[in-house]
Amino acid sequence: MESNNTSVVNSHNEWDPLEEIIVGLLDGGADLPWEIGLQAVMPKEDVESSRAFHLDRGGKSIDRHRTAPALKELAEFIRILEGEGVTVKRPKPLDHSESFGTPQWQSPGGNVQADPRDVLLVIGDEIIEATMSWRSRYFEFLAYRDLIKDYFKQGARWTAAPKPQLTDELYKHDYVRGEEYVTTEFEPVFDAADVARCGRDLFVQRSHVTNLFGIEWLRRHLGDDYRLHVVEFEDDRAIHIDATFVPLCPGKILVNPDRPLKAVPDVLKNSNWELLTAPRSTLPESYPLYRSFRWLSMNMLSLDEKRIIVEKSEEPLINALKDWGFEPIPCAFRNNYRFGGSFHCATADIRRTGTLQSYF
Ligand code: ABU
């Protein structure tokens, strides 16, 4: 695909024509260690069983039989991307079963490299490494360093947000579910996937992993070219905006009927943007989600203003997208859900044809 941009890294929104993307991987992954930040995003009814599972398994390698079906889907996803002319890059696998720590804390292991979107925020020609807010994810950025150094050498800008301390002061151990967030304002923290990009307007979710201090850091870092709109949703597990509030093209945002906005931001009130309500997922109640997220159906990847990669079993969503004028591209991905994400999470934009614009 021909690009008018000279920068190797260039992405301003979620819908410009996609040219290059990082796709995550499962090699080297470990089960997440138990920590209070993880507890906060577990389904309420699963907290006790999750605690037992993660205390036992945390930091231990994920067996191949658990990754095999997901790997097949990832291969098909990559085949589709490449078939559509998108260049796919992969991170370097890390061994997440190694324990690590800082002078203040120890973690029995890491995570899995399935979700680059959580770690890397691309704004224009800049790659920002998010702080992250779980101890288990502290060193996840290392998997992307070879790629980032290469992009930097080719002219991209590169920023690592302030490394957080992640000491006990950051976490509210007695937080009340549904009434407050597990993270305090001790230091700036954010996950990159709490940002939805619409050119000069960025919607940033206050969540269990992104605090107001982190959003303020981003606001000052990005400066006057951008307007950051802080959004909150009725969601007791709030983590990442990309299965809750999903910009699809100029003028259209897919919203989650179970997670209404606590307050509609002024920029939306005064615009003619449509909020399209996502149909419910077809995922059977009995589907083994392993404490992951039922609304990952919304976690789609736009190849441009029309073409959207969507889970192939989500017929109601596929039909709704067609009715709204999009061209859905179905791909199986449900076996990847257990690793926390779908197509949007599993990727990080590197380059889309387009320039910085105001859409509001
Ligand atoms: N990044 C995963 C978010 C999943 C969800 O909010 O449902």
Per residue in 134-169, pLDDT tens?
999 999 999 999 999 999 999 999 999 999 999 999
Q: How far is CA 125 from the centre of its chain?
A: 19
Q: What is the pLDDT of residue 289?
A: 83
* Cβ atoms of residues 80 and 341 within 8 Å: no
Angle at 261 between CA 259 and CA 266, to 5 degrees: 160
The reply to whether 240 belongs to the active site is yes
257 CA to centre of ligand 1 in angstroms: 14
Q: Is-catalytic flag, 345?
A: yes
Q: Token pair for residue 217? A: 């850091």
The pLDDT, as a whole number, for residue 2 is: 43
- Nearest atom (ligand 1) to Cα of 241: 6
Q: Whose CA is nearest to atom 6 of ligand 1?
A: 243
> Which pLDDT does position 290 carry in this prediction?
80
Beta strands in the chain (DSSP E): 18-23, 87-89, 100-101, 106-107, 120-123, 126-129, 157-160, 195-198, 201-205, 227-231, 245-249, 252-255, 274-277, 301-302, 307-311, 327-331, 347-352
Is-contact 38 185, C-beta < 8 A?
no
CB 131 within 8 A of CB 190: yes
Residues in the chain: 360
Cα 296 to ligand 1 centre (Å): 6
pLDDT at residue 357, as a whole number: 98
> Which position among 31, 191, 304, 349 bears the catalytic label?
191
CA of 150 to the centre of ligand 1 (A): 30
The Å distance, Cα 204 to ligand 1 centre, comes to 14
Closest ligand 1 atom to Cα of 193: 1
Q: Which atom of ligand 1 is nearest to the CA of 118?
A: 1
The residues of the chain scoring below 50 in pLDDT are: 1-3
